[in-house]
Each structure stands twice: as C-alpha cells, then as structure tokens.
Amino acid sequence: MTTQFNSFAQMLTALPDDKACREYLESKRWGGVPTCTHCGTIDEKHYKLNVNGEFKGMYKCKSCKERFTVTLGTMFEGSPIGLRKWFIATYIFASHKKGISSHQLARDLGVTQKTAWFMLHRLRQSFTDIEPKILSGVVSMDETFVGGKNKNRHADKKIEGGQGGASADKTIVMGGMQLGGTVVTKIIVDREANTMLPEIKKMVKKGSILVTDEHRAYYKVKKDYFHISVNHAEGAYVNGAFTTNNIEGFWSLLKRGIIGIYHQVTPKHLQTYCNEFGFRYNSRKITDKERFDMALIRTEGVKLNYNMLIAK
Ligand SMILES: [Zn+2]
C-alpha cells in the first residue's frame, strides 16, 4: 500500500474511512503482511474471516488457528470508536505542541467529553510508554512545583533554602535536560537529598556534568558527578558556559500547557502529563507525520481501561 500524506488535511483525504485506516495500520505495523498476534507467524495466507458477510480485518492464523486483528494488543483494541476518529485524535495529539483538552477533542470528533477524555489517556500512554533515557554529558537539573489553587502559583519559584515538601495542592517535578535537548522528568515527594539522589542516579549517567541551582541537596552529588551550580538568588541562570536556562524553558512550556489546556492536573496523572510534554519536546525535530506514525506502531501493550484510570 502506498498511501502518502504529509499533513492533517492530506490524511483526511488519503484515509477517508475506517477501512482505509485499518489498511494503513496494517501497512505500518505488519509491513502489509498479516502477523499473528498470538504466535508471531507472518503469512500472507492467514485466513480472512468475514463478519456479517464482509471482511473487516479479522484474520485466523494458519499456524495456531487463533483469531487476530491489527488492533489486537493496541490502544485501539475493543474500542467502539471507529478507527478513523482514533486516527484524527492521534494526529491532533501528535501535532499540537501544547496538547489538546478533552472538551476540545470532544467537539472536534463529535464524541462525548468522557469518551474524549478516555481516548486522550490512551493516547498519552501510547505516546509515552517508553524506556526513559539515561542522560549524559552536560545535564542541567532543576525542580518545579506544579498545581495549586492560587492562580499565580505557576509563577512561584522555589522557596530559597527551604526543603519544600509536596502539599495537598502542589506536586514537585524534578527534571534533567541533556545539552542538545533531551528531557526526562520525575515526580518526587520532597526535595531532600535522600529522595533526590537515587532519582538522579537513575536519570543521569555517572561521571556526567550536573548543572544545578544552589539547592543544598545537589551538593551531595559530588561523589558521582562533576557539579556546577548557578546562583538563582542573584537572578543568574548562567555560570560561565553552563546554564540551567534550558530546563527552566521546559518548565515554562509544561506549565503553560497544563494551565492553558489541562487546567487542573491531579498528582496521580501528573507524571503522565510530564511524559507527554517530554515526548513532544524530545521528538521536536521530526515531522508531525513521523510522530503520528511512531504513535501508531508504539501501541503494543497499552490496555488501560476506564476503571484503572478513575481508580483513586
Ligand atoms: Zn498464530
């Protein structure tokens, strides 16, 4: 199959219905040759089963005799939403730099807000369900507070010298950004060295250069890293060639997104939102279409259900 498109508008023309979308997904996931989800057999001659007199993508494996479809084991599995609506949602999600709200997506697709909310969670999961990168080289690190009822809270800086634990209405996110721009984030419960050091070790390769502010937990990293601190108290974000400007820039992107689009994000879902923004940021050099295709083939294993999401 040679379906080509390079924009949202072209996709709408190139994939006019659920069948075209299903065939496109088959070409991306299987290279066009049906591959049994159960035993992995790749065979053009897997049986095609008709449903209500029509072939709708249901195969029966020639080898293990099990039934499978291209959506089995993906975020699309078992969804009553047609594949084309899923594709539209995926393209929007892949291309909107700051994400999209469930209310807006509901209007765009003509589905209920609850349905759109569920779709967005599945999308977010499939976009971000990847092994976190280990950062190395020169890595700037910082923490930020997210949430809070005070509408000015997003502008808050850290309390100087304070260790600042999380509270009912704010959550602490720690982040590292490698020079050149790969970001990794992690929700932490407080800013104590005992909490932060193990997370830093998971996030950044030993021996790297860490550029941080003067928060005192960072002074304990010297055993494993070269540490350079910049003085935020004096309004400086630069120490010679070293700066925390890049991770600061990511925080403002994240906060604008959360405040502008997602409004109130619960701490429970915050890591997933951080991953969403991190994924978009880290893949900023590829095109929307490439990001869309990546999301489609990265769907394996995503089987969130509604109850899992709303569970407290
Ligand atoms: Zn099989």
Q: What's the 45 CA to ligand 1 centre distance in angstroms? A: 12
Q: What's the 46 CA to ligand 1 centre distance in angstroms? A: 9
Q: What's the 62 CA to ligand 1 centre distance in angstroms? A: 7
CB 218 within 8 A of CB 143: no
Q: What's the 47 CA to ligand 1 centre distance in angstroms? A: 11
Start-to-end Cα distance in the chain: 45
Q: How far apart, in whole angstroms, are the C-alpha atoms of residue 43 and residue 50?
A: 18
pLDDT score of 301:
54
Rounded to the nearest 5 percent, the helix, strand and coil shares of the chain are: 40, 20, 40
Q: In this structure, which topology does domain 138-265 adopt according to CATH?
A: Nucleotidyltransferase; domain 5 (3.30.420)
Q: What's the 39 CA to ligand 1 centre distance in angstroms? A: 4
Q: What's the 68 CA to ligand 1 centre distance in angstroms? A: 8
pLDDT score of 205:
95
- Looking up tokens 């008709």 gives 50
Q: What's the 35 CA to ligand 1 centre distance in angstroms? A: 8
Q: How far apart, in whole angstroms, are the C-alpha atoms of residue 262 and residue 256?
A: 9
Q: What's the 245 CA to ligand 1 centre distance in angstroms? A: 52
Domain ranges of the chain: 8-130+289-299, 138-265
Predicted confidence (pLDDT) per residue in 218-275, tens digit: 988 989 999 999 876 666 666 777 888 889 999 998 888 887 766 667 777 788 888 8
pLDDT score of 98:
76
**Torsion-angle region of residue 301: left (phi > 0), alpha (psi -120 to 50) or beta?**
left
- The tokens describing 130, both together, are 């990847």
pLDDT score of 235:
62
Q: What's the 31 CA to ligand 1 centre distance in angstroms? A: 17
Q: How far apart, in whole angstroms, are the C-alpha atoms of residue 42 and residue 10?
A: 31
- Is residue 177 within a helix (H) or strand (E), and if so which, with residue range? strand 171-178
CB 127 within 8 A of CB 298: yes
pLDDT score of 160:
37
CB 83 within 8 A of CB 76: yes
Q: How far apart, in whole angstroms, are the C-alpha atoms of residue 8 and residue 59?
A: 30
Q: What's the 43 CA to ligand 1 centre distance in angstroms? A: 10
- Looking up tokens 């990546």 gives 294
Q: What's the 84 CA to ligand 1 centre distance in angstroms? A: 27
Residues found in the chain: 312
Q: What's the 36 CA to ligand 1 centre distance in angstroms? A: 5
- Is residue 180 within a helix (H) or strand (E), and if so which, with residue range? none
| Segments of the chain with pLDDT less than 70 | 1-2, 129-132, 148-169, 232-238, 261-264, 298-312
- Is residue 165 within a helix (H) or strand (E), and if so which, with residue range? none
Q: What's the 81 CA to ligand 1 centre distance in angstroms? A: 26
